[in-house]
Structures are given as structure tokens and as C-alpha cells.
């Protein structure tokens, strides 16, 4: 049984004491947060710790957090960057609510993160950063290392700068580069404290800095120095280990959502037997999809960094007309700019995918923080009657198959599809059990090559089953036709202002999209080990999946019979959703917005669902959802 | 799906490029003449009809694709160069044309135009410049002259206009030309040269809007006026014009100037060279008039060779395949390091170097 229900890691084995009186405690899980200046290399340190743990066999989940500024002033609160990872010996679902161990590279990092550290947790501080200047920048009047304010934590004080200088002195790095290795020193100490294998990190540094051997040597030296600091100084009498998790057999990799989405698009193009075209404009947090795809031209992938968001969607409309699997990606502000182009694709009934990696809004908002506040704009945010299929990824690895599904719908139904991700999925990572690629569906759709009537080609003659129009691409003899934004006459595609025709075409386009409900799996309800429905259904979509599942699991451990359902398809909804919702008296919909899915569900099914809303730029804590479930059941029971 | 429409024999008549759609421009519109010039030109090209794509934005001229029996798209305001870029970069086998107007290309779509030109995407861009918004019924455009009184500028426009040729040269377009709707022979010559050019070809077509801006180009089309004002640029020839070539263009420092031919040594007269790598002289020629109000050059200002966007992209794809081999998805998803969990549910550790990122 999963044990995430506890507030902190459970000591499953107190462990033997060593001769020196040291003790290794075995935990089922631990949450670690690296925090420092955005130039301190915390993301690298976190990623290395993660990969070493993944290789060791832990289950894990990560949550990076960084400022929108590339280099905010050093030592200040806005400049703090952090990386949280939870590792466990069982299948976990989130990066954890509260860290058990916090690494604070400077006072600002401590100031910003200490409140989250669970009481009694381990705090590793870089003492040499706690000078007057840095303390002032972080808003400390007194040095917290010297008053008693940290008494409730297990504090490990490390003079990281002098240790790093000493460690790297023979490596050949000099000047400012010397202290750049201090993240590896911290990492080394963590590797000792949590009994991590050292080889993956050393191998990584040597491979990564193959062309800068002195940097590789400095990082390895600092890493070893950190590890040895733990051993030789007996920094703490207690170290920890988290045993490997029991996971389904197979080959795993650790993947972020942006990477798996990019790979999913490549997989979709292969499954569709089409070349992939990705036209986009740089925007946080979607740019990594472009970065990843632009590396893979040997797959025939063409990436186009357009002059603006509008050109990006324009290029994609053109590429779709020309016969590509055409994809654009952006985030809220960019998607808003694309909306006219998306409507053109809708009117011309061309297949393409619009990826929206959501971030905090409105306007520039919180570019590096997660939010689910673009759902209503995805569904309604265009002019005219222009319903589009909308689907959402639920986790970093899920983005892979979500991309394939977006392509399937787009091609089969000749329509733009909106694929929603968010910053949590995009930059978070998790182990991914690699799929059997031979089992990907064949989503290819043949181009029209011959005329569809004896009197010539009709570009808007719809398929009887799907209502899709034929896809005849330029270069095909005899099928020359003109598309356009003006209303099309049914069948011929000629410009038409006829009232009855506009009604017919509006209805046909809407029906085409609505009918997709019959071509997607019904929503599945997870009931745990019960066969009967529980007292409450928690319905979610997108990146809240892991948190909701963890909260549901905790409630079940408390004996509360509740169920969970998570939607990938948000327009249209699965055909059975109304029937499922009708079975429950209580439905809870937690979202990182002010209730978008909630409104849709209430409007569509007239059910009295309850929302749980958070728009704080951070994911839900498991406990927040858990508390809401308790209160909903408490209220109705009393 | 039973019959095949017989492919058209390669461009033989204008009729092959006409559609069954009624052409709905105002009677007397210059667009009719340009349409006829383009259709006639296409009929002379040894290329199958299905390999042409015409993409337009919004405006009177942007109805153009509906009337040309090739592949086409009447898209959204200003975005035709972006859409055409998506077509051409993924399908370099096609001949992709953009039809646009002064409002479409220079106002709402200005950004896309300059970026298509700087990238040298293999597009043939026909900018119908009538110096007015026609479809929205008569507002001033980004090429309307200062002081122009229109519905939206009742006491005169205070917008300084673009000179489209100067703009295209500023964006370092590899082919820049100007022609006139009424002069079908000249238009055809320019179309031919643009078609043969590899890369972006920008053609400004002075086009008369007889409803909202009639006779805007009278200085170049009027019987009396044109002989004094048309400067025909011809590659390799001295730039002279007017009755008996009484006027000539010389370079005075960085500036092109009109002088009396008799007043200068013949060797001082500028000899037109389309192929100068530096667009400065062509730009200077484009400044001889800021609009069609006096002596105005027509013809090809610039024609230089530089790699097209499509060729470079194809080259990168080919090079990537040559270097790494054709993409293998199974390898890709393992490229960040993997570990294997055995039947006992426990990790067997990293497979190979976990640091291959």
C-alpha cells in the first residue's frame, strides 16, 4: 500500500549504528529542495541528484522553480532559484508538499524557503554566504545562524566557498570559475547524506564537460570534497537511505514534459507518415519544445522560428495546407495573438496542433509559474462559432501520448486541435516507462489524389462518418482548389453568402467536432479496491493529476471511499461523462484557476459540482485537496 | 473517388488558369489588368498548373486566388507572407506566390513582409499598390501621400507614407522591381524575371483604384505625362528618360539625382546594375521619387543571388541525416540515459552512461 499519506518519510528501518556511532536511517521517501541564487547552479544540482536517484531505482517527481529574470541581482529574494525533488521506494505522484531537507546557498534562499521546511528537517547552509551584505539583501536584521531561530531544525553548516576553492585548486580553473563548482560540493554532501551512488554524477560531469576538462575536473573534485566533508567531519550522526522502488518492469528514462511532448510530436509524425513542421516564436515556458525539435532535423523535422506569434500560426496553416503534420506552440499571451490564425485553420478545416504551455496570467503574468487558467480561452477564445477539440496532458511523461492523440484527432477530422500543458508539466520530470513504439496507433490519413465526383473535385465534400473534408495538397494534379477565410459553400468550397449555407456550415463544423466524443475513450473512474462508487468523485484535468491522486490515496487510507477521474479530452468531453457524474452526489473539481472546468461541467451537465481553486503560481499541496475532501464529506455528513 | 480529372497540359492558354468564379472587382479596376497579365504569363510557363500556389491576405487584390485556377488560399489580413513561408519551406517543389496590397503588406502585415524578404524565402510577392483602402471603402493607406483627404482623414492625412521599393531594399530583398498595371508587356517581363529568380521576389505594382483613388498614377500613365516621368531601368544601360532622353540620372555622392543629359559628361550618367551586392545605389534610385508624382523609376532595381531559406533548411536536414543517420525514435527516447527495472520490480541501475545528455 502506498504510504504517501504520512506527513513525512517513514523510518522503515532505524539501521545499525556504525563504530563511530553513526546511524543510517532507511526512509520510504524524502523531499529535498536545492535553493540558491539563479546563478548558483541549483537546477543542475537538482537534476543531477534526480538522475542519480533514478538510476538507483527510486521513483521520483521534480518541481523546478526559477525567476523570470535570467540573472536577478545576486543575493536578492527575487533571484532565488530552486529545485525540489521527491524520491521514494514506492510510486509517488508529486514532488511533495514540504521538503525534509533544504539546501540554502545564501540568506535569500533561506529566507524564501525556510517556511516550507518541515519542522525537524535537515537544513544545509553555505555559512560563507551569510555576511552582512547578503543578510541585508535577504531582509535579515540578525544572522539566523547565530540567533536561535533555526533551533527547530537539524542544521549542517558548511563553509562551501573555502571548501570549493581548496578542492578545485589543482583542476586548472581560475577566477570566477572556481566558485562555480560549489553546487557540486553541495551535491556531494547530499549524495553522502542520502546514500546516493556517486558514479552517475561523476560520469555526467565528465561527459558534459568533455571539451572543458578543467571544468569537469573541478566539478568532480568539488563533488568528492562535498561527499568527503560529510564522512570526515561527521557533519551529522545520522544519514539516510531510500531504497529502490518496486516499479513495473521495463526500461525507464527521466523526462520533462516539454521533452516528452517534443518526442511525442516526432512519434506522431512517424505514426502519421508525415513530415513534422514546428513553427513557433520563443516564449517561456514553451521554448524548450522548439529547442528539442530543432536538434532532430535527421527525423526530417523542420523548425521555423517565426518573426512573431502570428507568423508562427500562419506558417503552420501554410504547412498544413502543404501536407505536413503542422504544429505551433506557445503560452497564454502568444496563444492570444494566434487566435485569428487558429480561426482561419478552423474555417479552412486544415489539420494542425496548437500547443499551449500554460503559465500564470493575465498578460505577462507569472511566466515561470504553472496555472491552468487558459482552459476557457482554449475552448471559447476565438471569434465566431469556432469550437475546437481541446486535450490536456496530465504529467510530464503523459505529454508524449497526448501529442500523438492530438495529431490523431487533427488528421482524422481535419481540424486544429489545442493541446494544453503547463509550466509544471513542462519543466517537471518523472520516470517514464518507455512505451512499445510498435504499438503506437497508425494515425495516417491518405491525401486525396483523385477527384471525389465525376464533375470535378469538391474540396468541402465531407466524409460520411467523420464529416472531415478531403485533404488535397498542392502538387496534386486535377485537384486544384482555393481555400479561404470567407464562408464556404458546402461541397464546392466556393465563397458563399447564402444564409442557409452559413447555418449549414456552422452546424456541420460544430457537429464534426462534437462527434469526436464517439471516437475517444470513455472517462475511467478509479475506485481503488472497491467495486462500487464512492461517496465523492474528484474530477480533474491537466497537471493536477498527481496531486489529486495522492490526496485521494490518503483519504482512502483514512477509510474514506472516494473516487477519481481525470479528463484528457476537454472538448468534446467523453461520451459517458454525463452518466458518470450523475452517479455522484458530490463532485469536487480542483483546478489551478478560478473554476474553468467547473463552469463547463455545470453548464453541460447541470450537476452541482464544487470547485477548489488556487491561483498562486504554485501547484496544489496534497493536503489542500485532502482537506477540501474532508470538509465536503464532513459538511454533508453532519 | 472514381474519376480522375485529366491533368492540364502544361500551361497553354489563359483559360487554363481561369476559374468558374465570377470576378467581382469594380468595373475599370486595375486588378483586372494584373489578373490577365498573370494568367497569360502562367500560360507561358513550362510548369504544371498544380505546382502553383497563390496566397493572399485581405483587401481587394487579395480576392486574386479565387480567380486563378491553381492551388490557393485567401487568408487573413497581412499574414499571407507567413502562410506562404510555411508552404514554401516545407514544399520547395512548389512555386508560391503572394498577392497583397498596400494596406495588407505594409500596414497590418508589415512585419511578415520584411522578414520574408530578409530570409529570402522563395516567394513571388505581388504588391498591388493603389495608395488607398478600397475594400473598406476609402481610408488612407500607408502609401497615401501626406495631406490626402479621405473618409478617415477629412482634413488631410498626417501619416508619412512608405516607399515600398525603399522598404524592400532596406530589408535586403534579393529581387525588387516596380511595374504598372496598365503596361502589360512590362508587367509580363517583370513576372518572368521574378519567376526565374531564386529567392524572394518583390514586385510593387502601381494599380489604379478608379473608385476611391482614380488617376493616382496619372504621372506615369497619362499620355502627356508619362513620357516625361517614366524612368525605365534597364540592366547595363545608362539611366536616361524623357523625350529624346533629355534627362539623365547621376550619382551625386550617395544620392541619385536627375540632371539634364546635355549638362553632364556621358561617363557621369549612372549605368544601371541590378546585381550590385550593396543595395545602396538601388535604394538611392528608389528615392528619386517618394511616390508616383514626378520622374519615377520602373523596372528591376535589384537582382542578386543569395541562398534561399528553403535551400538552407533542406541542406541542414540533409546534413543532419548524413551525420547522424535517419532519425530512430527508439534511440531518441533513450537518449537521456535509461535504467531497467527487472521482473522483481527493482532497478538494475543505469544502462550505459547516464550522462549522455
What pLDDT is recorded for position A114?
96
What pLDDT is recorded for position A22?
72
Do B336 and A244 lie within an 8 Å CB cutoff?
A: no
Per-position pLDDT tens, chain B of length 357: 444 444 444 547 999 999 999 999 999 999 999 999 999 999 999 999 999 999 999 999 999 999 999 999 999 999 999 999 999 999 999 999 999 999 999 999 999 999 999 999 999 999 999 999 999 999 999 999 999 999 999 999 999 999 999 999 999 999 999 999 999 999 999 999 999 999 999 999 999 999 999 999 999 999 999 999 999 999 999 999 999 999 999 999 999 999 999 999 999 999 999 999 999 999 999 999 988 899 999 999 999 999 999 999 999 999 999 999 999 999 999 999 898 888 877 777 777 544 333
Q: Beta-strand (E) ranges in A333-471?
A: 352-358, 390-392, 416-422, 429-433
Q: Which residues contact A147 (CB under 8 A, 6 or more apart)?
A: none
All three cell numbers of B144? 497615401
Which one of B7, B74, B329 has the shortest CB-CB distance to A270?
B329
Cα(B29)–Cα(A279) distance, rounded to whole angstroms? 37
Which one of B1, B75, B356 has the shortest CB-CB distance to A450?
B1
Express each pLDDT in A295-321 by its tens digit: 999 999 999 999 999 999 999 999 999
Q: What is this structure's pTM? A: 0.91
Q: Which residues contact A502 (CB under 8 A, 6 or more apart)?
A: A487, A496
The interaxial angle of helices B80-90 and B110-119, nearest 10 deg, is 30
Instruction: Note whether B4 contacts A: Cβ–Cβ < 8 A.
Output: yes
The answer to whether B276 and B260 have CB atoms below 8 angstroms apart is: no
Rg (CA), chain B: 25
Q: Exposed, middle or buried, A452 (CB in 10 Å: 0-12/13-18/19+)?
A: buried
All three cell numbers of A183? 553546487
Pairing of strands A80-88, A29-37: antiparallel
Q: Beta-strand (E) ranges in chain B?
A: 52-56, 71-74, 95-101, 123-129, 175-180, 201-206, 230-233, 240-241, 247-252, 255-260, 296-303, 338-341, 347-351
DSSP type of residue A7: S
Do B341 and A456 lie within an 8 Å CB cutoff?
A: no
Average pLDDT score over residue span A531-547: 97
The answer to whether A333 and A364 have CB atoms below 8 angstroms apart is: yes
What pLDDT is recorded for position A67?
81
Do A299 and B326 lie within an 8 Å CB cutoff?
A: yes
- The pLDDT confidence band at residue A632, using thresholds 50, 70 and 90, is very high
Express each pLDDT in A352-410 by its tens digit: 999 999 999 999 999 999 999 999 999 999 999 999 999 999 999 999 999 999 999 99
Residue of A nearest to B317 (CA): A297
Average pLDDT score over residue span A105-109: 97
Instruction: Note whether A247 contacts B: Cβ–Cβ < 8 A.
Output: yes
Cα(B233)–Cα(A445) distance, rounded to whole angstroms? 51
Q: How far from A559 is each of A10, A92, A528, A534, A562, CA to CA, in Å?
A: 20, 20, 11, 11, 9
% residues pLDDT > 90 (chain A) = 87
Do A318 and B4 lie within an 8 Å CB cutoff?
A: no
A581: pLDDT strictly greater than 60: yes
Q: Which residues contact B96 (CB under 8 A, 6 or more apart)?
A: B52, B53, B55, B84, B87, B88, B122, B123, B124
Q: Which of residues 317-356 of B touch A (CB under 8 A)?
A: 317, 319-321, 323-327, 329-330, 332-334, 336-343, 345-351, 353-356
Residues of B in contact with A248 (CB under 8 A): 341, 345
Instruction: Note whether A376 contacts B: Cβ–Cβ < 8 A.
Output: no
Do A483 and B72 lie within an 8 Å CB cutoff?
A: yes
Three-state DSSP class for A304?
strand
Residue of A nearest to B349 (CA): A55
Q: Beta-strand (E) ranges in A118-202?
A: 122-126, 154-158
Find the helix or strand (DSSP H, E) in which A62 lies. Answer: strand A59-65
Instruction: Note whether B33 contacts A: Cβ–Cβ < 8 A.
Output: no
All three cell numbers of A503? 447555418
CA angle, residues A152, A155, A157, in degrees to nearest 5:
155
Percentage helix, strand, coil for chain B under 3-state DSSP, each rounded to 5 = 35, 25, 45
DSSP type of residue A299: G
- The pLDDT confidence band at residue A57, using thresholds 50, 70 and 90, is confident
Do A302 and B313 lie within an 8 Å CB cutoff?
A: yes
Find the helix or strand (DSSP H, E) in which A289 lies. Answer: helix A287-294
Rounded (10°) CA dihedral B210, B213, B218, B223: 20
Three-state DSSP class for A531?
coil
What pLDDT is recorded for position B287?
96
Cα(B38)–Cα(B44) distance, rounded to whole angstroms? 10
Instruction: Note whether A261 contacts B: Cβ–Cβ < 8 A.
Output: no
Do A477 and B86 lie within an 8 Å CB cutoff?
A: no
Instruction: Note whether B295 contacts A: Cβ–Cβ < 8 A.
Output: no
All three cell numbers of A265? 510530436
A238: pLDDT strictly greater than 90: no
Express each pLDDT in A244-294 by its tens digit: 888 889 999 999 999 999 999 999 999 999 999 999 999 999 999 999 999
The interaxial angle of helices A182-193 and A199-208, nearest 10 deg, is 160
Backbone angles phi and psi of A462, in degrees to 5: -85, 150
Q: Which residues contact B264 (CB under 8 A, 6 or more apart)?
A: B248, B250
Do B326 and A323 lie within an 8 Å CB cutoff?
A: no
Which one of A57, A266, A495 has the shortest CB-CB distance to B339?
A57
What pLDDT is recorded for position A308?
98
What pLDDT is recorded for position A437?
96
Instruction: Note whether A307 contacts B: Cβ–Cβ < 8 A.
Output: yes
What pLDDT is recorded for position A93?
86
What pLDDT is recorded for position A237?
77
Cα(B258)–Cα(B256) distance, rounded to whole angstroms? 7
Q: Which of residues 143-202 of B touch A (CB under 8 A)?
A: none
What pLDDT is recorded for position A525?
97
- The pLDDT confidence band at residue A17, using thresholds 50, 70 and 90, is low
What pLDDT is recorded for position A338?
98
Cα(B313)–Cα(A445) distance, rounded to whole angstroms? 26
- Three-class SS of A382-421: CCCCCCCCEEECCCCCHHHHHHHHHHHHHHHHCCEEEEEE
Cα(A253)–Cα(A430) distance, rounded to whole angstroms? 8
Q: Which residues contact A588 (CB under 8 A, 6 or more apart)?
A: A536, A537, A538, A539, A609, A610, A611, A612, A625, A628, A629, A632
Instruction: Note whether A126 contacts B: Cβ–Cβ < 8 A.
Output: no
Cα(B335)–Cα(B322) distance, rounded to whole angstroms? 19
Do B1 and A203 lie within an 8 Å CB cutoff?
A: no
Instruction: Note whether A559 contacts B: Cβ–Cβ < 8 A.
Output: no
What pLDDT is recorded for position A235?
64
B21, B57, B59, B333, best to mutate vs chain A, most A CBs in 10 Å:
B333
Q: How far from A447 is each of A323, A452, A470, B52, B192, CA to CA, in Å?
A: 8, 12, 7, 18, 32
- The pLDDT confidence band at residue A16, using thresholds 50, 70 and 90, is low
Q: How far from A464 is each of A374, A451, A460, A461, A470, CA to CA, in Å?
A: 33, 16, 12, 9, 11
What pLDDT is recorded for position A375?
98
Q: Which of residues 448-507 of A touch B (CB under 8 A)?
A: 450-454, 456-457, 474-486, 494-495
A8: pLDDT strictly greater than 50: no
Percentage helix, strand, coil for chain A under 3-state DSSP, each rounded to 5 = 40, 20, 40
CA angle, residues A577, A582, A585, in degrees to nearest 5:
130
All three cell numbers of A421? 500543458
Residues of B in contact with A253 (CB under 8 A): 333-334, 336-339
Instruction: Note whether A249 contacts B: Cβ–Cβ < 8 A.
Output: yes
Amino acid at each position: 500500500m502506498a504510504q504517501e499519506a504520512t506527513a513525512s518519510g517513514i523510518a522503515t528501518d532505524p539501521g545499525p549504528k556504525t563504530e563511530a556511532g553513526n546511524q543510517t536511517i532507511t526512509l520510504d521517501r524524502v523531499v529535498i529542495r536545492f535553493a540558491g541564487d539563479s546563478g548558483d547552479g541549483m537546477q543542475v544540482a537538482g537534476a543531477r541528484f534526480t538522475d542519480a536517484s533514478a538510476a538507483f531505482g527510486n521513483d521520483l517527481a521534480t518541481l523546478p522553480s526559477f525567476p523570470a529574470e535570467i540573472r536577478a541581482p545576486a543575493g536578492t529574494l527575487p533571484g532565488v532559484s530552486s529545485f525540489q525533488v521527491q524520491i521514494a521506494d514506492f510510486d509517488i505522484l508529486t514532488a511533495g508538499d514540504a521538503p525534509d531537507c533544504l539546501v540554502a546557498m545564501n540568506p535569500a534562499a533561506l529566507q524564501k524557503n525556510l517556511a516550507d521546511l518541515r519542522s525537524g528537517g535537515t537544513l544545509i547552509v553555505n555559512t560563507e554566504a551569510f555576511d552582512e551584505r547578503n543578510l541585508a539583501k535577504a531582509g535579515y536584521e540578525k544572522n539566523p545562524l547565530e540567533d536561535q531561530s533555526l533551533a527547530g531544525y537539524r542544521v549542517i553548516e558548511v563553509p562551501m566557498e573555502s571548501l570549493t576553492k581548496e578542492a578545485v585548486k589543482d583542476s586548472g580553473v581560475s577566477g570566477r570559475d572556481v566558485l562555480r563548482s560549489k553546487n557540486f560540493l553541495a551535491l556531494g554532501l547530499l549524495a553522502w547524506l542520502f546514500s546516493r551512488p556517486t558514479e552517475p554524477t561523476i560520469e555526467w560531469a565528465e561527459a558534459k564537460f568533455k571539451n572543458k576538462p578543467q571544468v569537469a575536473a573541478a566539478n568532480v573534485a568539488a563533488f568528492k570534497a562535498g561527499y568527503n566533508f560529510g564522512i570526515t567531519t561527521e557533519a551529522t550522526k545520522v544519514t539516510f537511505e531510500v531504497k529502490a522502488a518496486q516499479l513495473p518492469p521495463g526500461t525507464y528514462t527521466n523526462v520533462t514534459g516539454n521533452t516528452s511532448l517534443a518526442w511525442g510530436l516526432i512519434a506522431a509524425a512517424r505514426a502519421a507518415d508525415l513530415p513534422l513542421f514546428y513553427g513557433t516564436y520563443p516564449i517561456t515556458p514553451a521554448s524548450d519544445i522548439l529547442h528539442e525539435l530543432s536538434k532532430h532535423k535527421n527525423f526530417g523535422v523542420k523548425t521555423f522560428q517565426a518573426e512573431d506569434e502570428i507568423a508562427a500560426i500562419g506558417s503552420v496553416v501554410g504547412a498544413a495546407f502543404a501536407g505536413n503534420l503542422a504544429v505551433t506552440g506557445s503560452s497564454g499571451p502568444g496563444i492570444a495573438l494566434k487566435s485569428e490564425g487558429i480561426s482561419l485553420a478552423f474555417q479552412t478545416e486544415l489539420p494542425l496542433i496548437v500547443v499551449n504551455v500554460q503559465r500564470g496570467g493575465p498578460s505577462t503574468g507569472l511566466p515561470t509559474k504553472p496555472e491552468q487558467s487558459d482552459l476557457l480561452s482554449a475552448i471559447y477564445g476565438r471569434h465566431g462559432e469556432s469550437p475546437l477539440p481541446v486535450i490536456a496532458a496530465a504529467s510530464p511523461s503523459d505529454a508524449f501520448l497526448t501529442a500523438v492523440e492530438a495529431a490523431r484527432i487533427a488528421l482524422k477530422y481535419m481540424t486544429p486541435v489545442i493541446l494544453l500543458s503547463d509550466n509544471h508539466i513542462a519543466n517537471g520530470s518523472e520516470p517514464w516507462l518507455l512505451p512499445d513504439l510498435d504499438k503506437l496507433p497508425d494515425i495516417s490519413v491518405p491525401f486525396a489524389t483523385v477527384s471525389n465526383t465525376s464533375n470535378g473535385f469538391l474540396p468541402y465534400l465531407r466524409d460520411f462518418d467523420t464529416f472531415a473534408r478531403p485533404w488535397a495538397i498542392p502538387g496534386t494534379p486535377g485537384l486544384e482548389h482555393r481555400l479561404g477565410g470567407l464562408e464556404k459553400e458546402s461541397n464546392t468550397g466556393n465563397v458563399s453568402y447564402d444564409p442557409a449555407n452559413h447555418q449549414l456550415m456552422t452546424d456541420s463544423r460544430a457537429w464534426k467536432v462534437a462527434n469526436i466524443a464517439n471516437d475517444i475513450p470513455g472517462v475511467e473512474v478509479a475506485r481503488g479496491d472497491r467495486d462500487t462508487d464512492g461517496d465523492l468523485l474528484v474530477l480533474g484535468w491537466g497537471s493536477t493529476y498527481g496531486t489529486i491522486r495522492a490526496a485521494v490515496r490518503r483519504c482512502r487510507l483514512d477509510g474514506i471511499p472516494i473516487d477519481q477521474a481525470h479528463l484528457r479530452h476537454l472538448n468534446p468531453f467523453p461520451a459517458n461523462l454525463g452518466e458518470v457524474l450523475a452517479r455522484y452526489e458530490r463532485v469536487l473539481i480542483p483546478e489551478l484557476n478560478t473554476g474553468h472546468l467547473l463552469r463547463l461541467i455545470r453548464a453541460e451537465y447541470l450537476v452541482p459540482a464544487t470547485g477548489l481553486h488556487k491561483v498562486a503560481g504554485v501547484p496544489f499541496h496534497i493536503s489542500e485537496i485532502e482537506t477540501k475532501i474532508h470538509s465536503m464529506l464532513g459538511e454533508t455528513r453532519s | 473517388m472514381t474519376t480522375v480529372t485529366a491533368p492540364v497540359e502544361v500551361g497553354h492558354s489563359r483559360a487554363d488558369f481561369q476559374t468558374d468564379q465570377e470576378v467581382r472587382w469594380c468595373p475599370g479596376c486595375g486588378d483586372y489588368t494584373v489578373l490577365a497579365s498573370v494568367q497569360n504569363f502562367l500560360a507561358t510557363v513550362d510548369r504544371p498548373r498544380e505546382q502553383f500556389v497563390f496566397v493572399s491576405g485581405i483587401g481587394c487584390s487579395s480576392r486574386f486566388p479565387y480567380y486563378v485556377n491553381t492551388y490557393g488560399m485567401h487568408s487573413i489580413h497581412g499574414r499571407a507572407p507567413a502562410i506562404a513561408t510555411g508552404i514554401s519551406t516545407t514544399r520547395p517543389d512548389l512555386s508560391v506566390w503572394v498577392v497583397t496590397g498596400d494596406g495588407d503588406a505594409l500596414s497590418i502585415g508589415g512585419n511578415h513582409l520584411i522578414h520574408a524578404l530578409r530570409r529570402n524565402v522563395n516567394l513571388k510577392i505581388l504588391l498591388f499598390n493603389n495608395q488607398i483602402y478600397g475594400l473598406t471603402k476609402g481610408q488612407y493607406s500607408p502609401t497615401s501621400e501626406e495631406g490626402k483627404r479621405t473618409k478617415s482623414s477629412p482634413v488631410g492625412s498626417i501619416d508619412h507614407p512608405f516607399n515600398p521599393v525603399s522598404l524592400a531594399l532596406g530589408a535586403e530583398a534579393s529581387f525588387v522591381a516596380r511595374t504598372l498595371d496598365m503596361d502589360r508587356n512590362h508587367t509580363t517581363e517583370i513576372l518572368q524575371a521574378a519567376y526565374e529568380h531564386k529567392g524572394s521576389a518583390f514586385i510593387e505594382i502601381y494599380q489604379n483604384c478608379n473608385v476611391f483613388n482614380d488617376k493616382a498614377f496619372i504621372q506615369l500613365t497619362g499620355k502627356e505625362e508619362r513620357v516625361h516621368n517614366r524612368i525605365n531601368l534597364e540592366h547595363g544601360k545608362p539611366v536616361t528618360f524623357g523625350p529624346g532622353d533629355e534627362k539623365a540620372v547621376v550619382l551625386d555622392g550617395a544620392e541619385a539625382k536627375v540632371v539634364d543629359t546635355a549638362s553632364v559628361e556621358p561617363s557621369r550618367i549612372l549605368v544601371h546594375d541590378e546585381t550590385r551586392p550593396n543595395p545602396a545605389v538601388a535604394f538611392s534610385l528608389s528615392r528619386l521619387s517618394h511616390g508616383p508624382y514626378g520622374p519615377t523609376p520602373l523596372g528591376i532595381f535589384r537582382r542578386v543571388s543569395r541562398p534561399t531559406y528553403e535551400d538552407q533548411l533542406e541542406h541542414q536536414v540533409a546534413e543532419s541525416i548524413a551525420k547522424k543517420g535517419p532519425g530512430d525514435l527508439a534511440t531518441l527516447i533513450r537518449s537521456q540515459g535509461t535504467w531497467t527495472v527487472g521482473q522483481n520490480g527493482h532497478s538494475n541501475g543505469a544502462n550505459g552512461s547516464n550522462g549522455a545528455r
